[in-house]
Amino acid sequence: MPLAESPQWRQKATNFFSSSSFKLKQAGQSAGDNIADVAGKVGSVVKSRWAVFQEARQRQPPPGETVQERFISAAATTGVLLRKGISETKEKVAVGKVKVEEAAKKTADKSKTILNNIERWQKGVASTDVFGVPIEATVQREQSGKAVPLVLVRCADYLVISGLSNEYLFKSEGEKKVLQQLVSLYNEDSGAPLPDGVNPIDVAALIKCYLASIPEPLTTFSLYDELRDARVSIADLRNILKKLPNVNYMTLEFVTALLLRVSRKSSLNKMDSRSLAVEFAPLIMWQQGDSGTDLRNHLRFTLKAPPKIVDTTSNTTEWDLLDEDDVDASSQIPLDDASPPDYSSIEVIQSLIEHHNAIFTDANETVWR
């Protein structure tokens, strides 16, 4: 007849092994899903060992061995399993702690970026901004050796390589949130390359947004009347444009050279020189005191909101907490159909595109392969 273990020992063993699985799993769940999995496995081991103990208790022990001794031996082997499981759990906890610290630091850095962006947009212009800043100040600060803002160079090079055939290039509107991201990118680093896979339509819209943002047109206020009166004379246009500051002259040559390339693909992109002139005249030539054409105000409105900061590791972004409903803001802009186009400016820009090489004889440096 087997020796019976004492009620006190049996109760303690039952309580310990029966509750260990639940406690370990509960503790693991409080530390995270991965840790809970490890703790659950340890708990399962405990349960299985206790089942073995109960089965062994019903069998006849070998000579000289009591049930209590069997419990002690089994508890010792179980202790090894528990220590191994607990060690694995601690390692998971350590890894989890590091991940939490990394996430906290990442969140803090992003929060700082958000606050900086808010502050910059509240002030209107930051020291590194290129949008909304006089063009000469931008070129002088960049010190790139070019008399053209780098954002225009990056965009034009991209379009010449991969975007000239897109239908309604420079007429189709870009995506507002993408434009805000690109503006933020170039306000922080004017020499940055364009992101991989960016849509040519958005790149073209970024050029228009830049020209709409500068406080004075490329043709300057002082030459508006002269250019308007000389719009049909190539020789007069050439002589008048020589009065422009060098940065304005070189940038105007650069932009119209790009538009000439676009117009040569009009059979594909459906944008001839007239269509391009209609799009760009309000952005290149306007009178002093002009509060802004519909197009220029529309593009400025596009850039008004703070730029969205994309977190590629998450489905949500910090700006989602600040943005209103995800709607196309351009639909909220009432266009004033009563405001007539400036046909004189359109004719000037069309002439600059069609007769580019004859007008900019001193600046035929813009060559794309």
Q: Which CATH superfamily is domain 133-305+340-358 in?
A: Rho GTPase activation protein (1.10.555.10)
Q: What is the mean pLDDT of residues 81-101?
A: 64
- Looking at residue 290, what is its pLDDT? 74
Of residues 323 and 175, more confidently modeled: 175
- Please give the mean pLDDT across all residues of the chain: 74
- Looking at residue 340, what is its pLDDT? 76
- Looking at residue 203, what is its pLDDT? 97
- Looking at residue 51, what is its pLDDT? 65
324-360, pLDDT tens digit by residue?
Answer: 444 443 333 334 444 678 899 999 999 999 999 999 9
Q: What is the mean pLDDT of residues 245-249?
A: 96
280-299, pLDDT tens digit by residue?
Answer: 999 999 998 776 555 666 66
Residues of the chain with pLDDT > 90, as a percent, come to 45
Q: Which residues contact 6 (CB under 8 A, 6 or more apart)?
A: 68
16-42, pLDDT tens digit by residue?
Answer: 555 555 555 555 555 555 555 655 665
Q: Poorest-confidence range of 15-24, 178-187, 269-278, 309-318?
A: 309-318
Q: What is the mean pLDDT of residues 305-334?
A: 41
> Is there a contact between 250 and 316 (Cβ–Cβ < 8 Å)?
no
Q: What is the mean pLDDT of residues 230-235?
A: 90
Residue 320 pLDDT grade (very low, low, confident, very high; cuts 50, 70, 90): very low
Q: What is the mean pLDDT of residues 223-243?
A: 94
Query: Has this prediction a pTM greater than 0.85?
Result: no
* Domain residue limits, the chain: 133-305+340-358
- Let me know if 307 is exposed, middle or buried by CB neighbors in 10 A (0-12, 13-18, 19+): buried
Q: Poorest-confidence range of 23-27, 120-124, 222-226, 350-354?
A: 120-124
- Looking at residue 223, what is its pLDDT? 96
HEC readout, the chain: CCCCCCHHHHHHHHHHHHHHHHHHHHHHHHHCHHHHHHHHHHHHHHHHHHHHHHHHHHCCCCCCCCHHHHHHHHHHHHHHHHHHHHHHHHHHHHHHHHHHHHHHHHHHHHHHHHHHHHHHHHHCCCCCCCCCCCHHHHHHHHCCCCCCCHHHHHHHHHHHHHCCCCCCCCCCCCCHHHHHHHHHHHHHCCCCCCCCCCCHHHHHHHHHHHHHHCCCCCCCCCCHHHHHHCCCCHHHHHHHHCCCCHHHHHHHHHHHHHHHHHHCCHHHHCCCHHHHHHHHHHHHCCCCCCCCCHHHHHHHHHCCCCCCCCCCCCCCCHHHHCCCCCCCHHHHCCCCCCCCCCHHHHHHHHHHHHCHHHHCCCCCCCCCC
Q: What is the mean pLDDT of residues 301-313?
A: 48
Residue 204 in this model has a pLDDT that exceeds 90:
yes
Q: What is the mean pLDDT of residues 297-302?
A: 61
Residue 229 in this model has a pLDDT that exceeds 90:
yes
